[in-house]
Amino acid sequence: MSKIEFFKDDKNLVNTKIIVGTEETIYQELTDDVRSSQMTWEEKLNHATKENLDKVNFLISKIEKEFNCKGVPNNRWLFFHLNEPYERKNLFCVIRCGKQVVDVCFRIDPEKFHVENDDIRLIKGFFFPKSTERRIRLTDSNLDTILDYIRHSNQATLNYPEIEKQKRIDAANKAVATRSKLDPGWRKK
């Protein structure tokens, strides 16, 4: 942690602290708990407040009941998959639990997900492929909305193999068209 101070005529104008680093190092500098980023899912739950634990357990029960799946702990997160094998291509929802907050990470189909909500954060791609990941913080008032987003995520994950296949076909067709423009007789060679 760095400290910056600006003086003018021996008067302290600005006194601020600047924290530079990754999310984990910043978190470690700001809190007493240096192990938080290394905690398991169970340890995260034990660390959460009772109110937060109630929220996360309620959300988990709703997801497991509606989608007929079981949450699988993975390091400090809880993963929800469509089915086995428990691989990234079958992953449709991730829950992150902190002491006082719960974040829900979900996959979207960028062609069909057109929701304007300031609470949704665009993620470049951590759990899900680039441009298909969104996150939202769970509050007492947005559970139904989050469940709608998870329904979309479930459907997007079911359709993901077809979407990827179509992207490959489109890319191949574009390559053929480009090659044909550059060298019209390339197929005959």
Query: Which pLDDT tens digit goes with each residue over 90-114?
Result: 999 999 999 999 999 999 998 899 9
Chain position carrying tokens 């076909």: 169
If phi > 0 it is left, if psi is from -120 to 50 it is alpha, else beta; for residue 173 that is alpha
pLDDT digits (tens, 9 = 90+) for 142-157: 999 999 999 999 999 9
C-beta separation of 72 from 78 below 8 A: yes
| CATH, range 39-172 | 3.90.1150.30
CA atoms within 13 A on the CB side of 125: 7
In the chain, residues under CATH classification 3.90.1150.30 are 39-172
pTM over 0.85: no
Top pLDDT among 50 and 17 is at 50
Top pLDDT among 180 and 37 is at 180
Examine the pLDDT at 20 and tell me if it is beyond 80: no
The span from the CA of 144 to the CA of 146, in Å, is 5
Residue 127: the pLDDT is 94
C-beta separation of 84 from 70 below 8 A: no
Nearest to 76 by CA among 61, 90, 93, 97: 97
